[in-house]
Structure 1
């Protein structure tokens, strides 16, 4: 178990409480209309289960996983779904089975040297032309903050990374400010990737 997963296991309830009610509507409105009606979504690194619950309430079919056993328990309680415990690289499913992958503030815990392989691994579960939302803290450093590892990315670096996978392209990217109280100065890089046909 790495230090980041250990952090989430030790601080699961606090993390859950601080994120479960965060307003995400603008991100949902950017991603969900691009998906087919009743799409099947994979919530990769689901954390509290907040987004899985929102997708379920909107009529989507959702599978979710997280590396933290404690967060998996809390996400199961919130959503009523069989959230699985897995890392990104250990996750398995039927290939080409999801219309969309949602990785909100989760892939940012993957070292840059492992990101390409992680994108390639997860994209095999996307249908042809499927969409992949991801978000990272905006920046150029890899750093440990309060017991968690973070890989910050710029748009240029994300484009280079995604292009190198040869299976995904960047359909769009945009910046947002953190919506949590006291973090308004933190910027996020958001992107919607598309699986090549």
Structure 2
């Protein structure tokens, strides 16, 4: 999967060599894409195995931790990306977890957020639970956190054409 379509709207708004945190970095696909374009990147994932894979194959550092409990205030990043990272989080926890992650972004920094569009909950063949969002509900949550939407687009999933993704680039206003 080529991440250009959802990473470019963020990257074109960042200075060269900006520091970017990828929360829920998984195999490091997005870290590699960003690193190859001259950005300074750091991964964050809950899996020791994924962290080791990223270090070996991408050459990036990865912090292993649980984003629902980690203290992101120690960071001062130019941007944080959450590509599909919060789709497994129950909707009632979104506000507090997202706000905790956004604390690690500098004033006037950016956050890239992608979420699955829809209503309700589903479970895939691997037992992973997905929580769906409507654009208007996400906008209400984001507005209450003093985040301004600087880019939005809706796109079809490359993996499954019936899935739609909501992509936001957000500017931290305070």
Does residue 83 of the first structure (1) align with residue 38 of the second (2)? no
2:108 paired residue number: 129
On the 8 A contact 1:23/1:179 being kept in 2, the answer is: no
Q: Deviation digits for residues 109-164 of structure 1, max 9, x if unmatched? A: 11111110011101111000111001111112133323112111111011011122
Higher strand share: 2
Q: Is the CA contact (8 Å cut-off) linking 1:142 and 1:149 kept in structure 2?
A: yes
The answer to which of 88-97 and 132-141 deviates more is: 88-97
Question: Counterpart in 1 of 2:164?
Answer: 187
**Mapped partners of 1:100, 1:186: distance in 2:** 26
Q: What displacement does 1:28 show?
A: 2.3
Higher-helix-fraction structure: 1
Give the CA deviation at 1:95. 4.3
Equivalent residues, number:
173
Distance across 2 between alignment mates of 1:64 and 1:90: 16
In structure 1, how many angstroms separate the alpha carbons of the residues matched to 2:170 and 2:18?
16
Q: Which residue of 2 aligns with 1:23?
A: 2
Distance in 1 of aligned mates of 2:149 and 2:29: 25
Determine which of 152, 158, 175 is the counterpart of 2:138. 158
Stretches of 4+ aligned residues off by more than 4 angstroms: 93-96
TM-score normalised to the size of structure 2? Answer: 0.91
For the aligned residue pairs, the C-alpha RMSD in angstroms reads 1.6
Unaligned 5+ segments in structure 1 are 1-21
**Structure 2 residue 119 is the aligned partner of structure 1 residue 145:** no
